[in-house]
Structure 1
Amino acid sequence: MTVCVKAIGGRIPISELVFARATISIIITRFYLYKNNINPWGYQRRLLLIRGLLGTVALFCIFKALTILPIATATVIQYIYPTFTVICAYIILKEFILKRIVYSIIIGWIGIVLVTQPEFTSNNNIQETILAIIIAIFGALMTSLAYICVRKLSSKEHPLVIIYYFPLVSIPLSIPFIINDFILPSGTDWFWIIGIGIFTQIGQLCITEGLRQLPASQATSLNYSQVIFASIWGVLIFQEKITSSIYLGGFCVLISTIISMSASKTKQAKI
């Protein structure tokens, strides 16, 4: 998905990409819901709508960051969300934060500083870079909240229902932004737009099913492989340079995630 968004390169408005992605997703999901005779509306509708809203905001942020930042940088920043998940769990669920979690948060943010540092030295538009980094971080926060909702919903809702509410919310939210800013895609743009919808749908299904069958910590660790793939695509397709600072920053974020997961497993063992 990230490759498709990056390839469009800002030629198509973000709201239009979100709308196209949601339209393709809702058609595919509705078909499978009907085929398997599953009630599309679910049982926890309020939480499903909240999950859809959080996911939509996160999607806007991720797409915007990808149009400005290199794929590897935007993806590594996105993967600060496990530390946000811990903080949100402390605030919302009143869960106790272990000392090692504090260390993981510090290490994670050191990683973010290292990853973004090359952008300030190589990009002349500092304000645009800072804005993109802030947007990417906010997107990570929204992702963490959305994952908390998915984890809570997975005990009662079918994965397809959870996925269905994502585009169900995304479509009406993106329409107002499209009305006065619509650009008709041309040429290969159609290919990339369709790719966004299809690949995102596959990813959502895999993530939702993974969160249902695996502990959140294990699902998160497997999902981190996206950083590796993003770096490879960035180099091979877009000729992006991966500096030592980005490698070190990505390693810090990985260590931060591992510490967060180990703390989660320790807590589960005690319970």
Structure 2
Amino acid sequence: MAKSGTTFLSSGITQMFLSTFSFAMANVFVKQLAGIPVMQIVFFRSIVAGVLCVYGIRKASISWKGNNKRFLILRGVSGTVALVLFFLTLQNIPLASATTIQYLSPIFTATIAIFFLKESVRILQWLFYAMAFSGVLLIKNFDPRVSTFYLFIGIIAALGSGVAYNFVRSLRDSEHPLVIIFYFQIVGLVVSIPFFAFEWKTPVGWDWFYLFLVGIFSYLGQIFLTNAFSRERAASVAIIVYTGLIYAIGIGWFVYGEEQTIFTFAGMALVVGGVIMSVLYARRNKLAEVTEA
């Protein structure tokens, strides 16, 4: 029998598959909660994930306070805004389309990093970005279920994720991953509570269970993601994130009867293909370490 380190399904790759599956399941339960206001979902998600995070922090014997509190809070704010808007798209457009639009976030991450982290983006990468955005336009034009409003909301959600990821990258040398996740949950709680004065719907029956599962799967997704990047080369595991689209297409069809046309499939392929080629090209040229003259 081959050693585990030499097989395709190494520990890191397995963890990444588990992470992608966990986030896909969290998205499904958000969609199941279409009758519950998004801010309530964020609130309950933050409670469940926050409690699990506190347990992890205590078990690891680390301080929850963190070092760079300003960036920790800003990461929490940008991540919460992105989460709220993404949940809105999940509840109002097909699961696969919402997931595909969210996959634009690496483009925004790289673009923002030009100014925030002084990284470079080369001409060929911009062509890959244009390819990805053309895929979004193809989905919009050939899928009447994707309105202009929710397309815009989805793109802003991806932008918010790009901002959040840049804060995470700037914090990785000074903060434990659990501390970063913990602040995200705290900010989510603080931001969501004021909205209850304007809109509240008491969960009933299975709603409580779905809310609990959103928090559980979101937390597991974060933990598996962290473990994957700590046990395997980033280039080997990052691309696996996009298997989430396969889950979204399958679950959307099986659970919600969301059929796709050849044009929407083509749009999804352009988005995922453009982002993947950009990521691979960036890593190949070590853009994180080399600044163009």
TM-score, scaled to structure 2: 0.84
CA contact (8 A) 1:81 1:140 kept: yes
1:96-245 correspondence runs (5 A): 96-120=120-144, 123=145, 129-211=147-229, 218-245=236-263
- Residue of 81, 87, 91 corresponding to 2:115: 91
Q: Which moved more, 1:203-212 or 1:151-160?
A: 203-212
Q: Which runs of 5 or more residues in structure 1 are unaligned?
A: none
Cα gap change, 1:206 to 1:147, in 2 (>3 Å)? farther
Aligned to 1:254: 272
Aligned to 1:34: 58
For residues 188-242 of structure 1, the C-alpha deviation after alignment (integer angstroms, 9 at most, x for no partner) is 1112111111111111222344455566655531211111111111011111102
For residues 150-207 of structure 1, the C-alpha deviation after alignment (integer angstroms, 9 at most, x for no partner) is 2222223211111101111110100011123111101111121111111111112223
CA contact (8 A) 1:56 1:170 kept: yes
Aligned to 1:81: 105
Cα gap change, 1:224 to 1:117, in 2 (>3 Å)? same
Q: Distance in 1 between matches of 2:118 and 2:46?
A: 34
Are 2:31 and 1:6 aligned? yes
TM-score, scaled to structure 1: 0.91
Amino acid at match of 1:65: T
CA contact (8 A) 1:151 1:216 kept: no
Runs of 4 or more off by more than 6 Å in structure 1? none
Deviation, structure 1 residue 104: 0.7
Aligned to 2:11: none
Q: Distance in 1 between matches of 2:117 and 2:233?
A: 17
Amino acid at match of 2:105: Y
Q: Distance in 1 between matches of 2:236 and 2:153?
A: 27
CA contact (8 A) 1:73 1:116 kept: no
Deviation, structure 1 residue 267: 2.7
Amino acid at match of 1:17: I
Amino acid at match of 2:281: A
Q: Distance in 2 between matches of 1:222 and 1:150?
A: 20
Amino acid at match of 1:2: N
Q: Which runs of 5 or more residues in structure 2 are unaligned?
A: 1-25
Q: Distance in 2 between matches of 1:146 and 1:208?
A: 16
Percent sequence identity is 31
SS in 2 for 1:224: helix
Q: Which moved more, 1:109-118 or 1:150-159?
A: 150-159
Amino acid at match of 1:3: V
Are 2:64 and 1:46 aligned? no
Amino acid at match of 1:176: P
Q: Distance in 2 between matches of 1:268 and 1:214?
A: 17
Deviation, structure 1 residue 93: 2.9
Amino acid at match of 2:214: I
Q: Which moved more, 1:163-172 or 1:221-230?
A: 221-230
Aligned to 2:49: 25
Q: How many residues align?
A: 264
Amino acid at match of 1:15: M
Q: Distance in 2 between matches of 1:91 and 1:267?
A: 19
Q: Which moved more, 1:225-234 or 1:203-212?
A: 203-212
Aligned to 2:8: none
Let me know the Cα RMSD of the aligned residues: 1.9
Amino acid at match of 2:172: S
Amino acid at match of 1:8: L
SS in 2 for 1:268: coil
CA contact (8 A) 1:154 1:211 kept: no
